Amino acid sequence: MLTAAGSTAELSACAISGLFNCITIHPLNIAAGVWMIMNAFILLLCEAPFCCQFIEFANTVAEKVDRLRSWQKAVFYCGMAVVPIVISLTLTTLLGNAIAFATGVLYGLSALGK
């Protein structure tokens, strides 16, 4: 459903926001930032495995994710985007996860059909 350029743009926004979120002395902000960076890597692995050619299991993970239904992808995307917001509610966390959450919403809407 997503193009490779769209998925890499959203994931880079999440990773950059996570990196900015880690520049602090508050442990919860650091935990949320690390989760956002991990979230960006996992979603990049799922959506654009050609970007991770150096990882042996990237194609296997992408094939398993492609077999998931749209509502399952929606729950996965939204769930991964909500966790850092629950850990640390800051503007950086909200903006960094907004695109990933919106992608989950689009997968959910596609599960509803016409």
Of the pLDDT bands very low, low, confident and very high (cuts 50, 70, 90), residue 79 is very high
Of the pLDDT bands very low, low, confident and very high (cuts 50, 70, 90), residue 75 is very high
pLDDT digit string, tens, across residues 39-68: 888 888 877 777 777 777 777 887 888 888
At residue 4, the pLDDT reads 45
pLDDT at 8 over 70: no
At residue 5, the pLDDT reads 45
Give the angle subtended at the CA of 57 by the CAs of 65 and 19, to the nearest 5°. 80
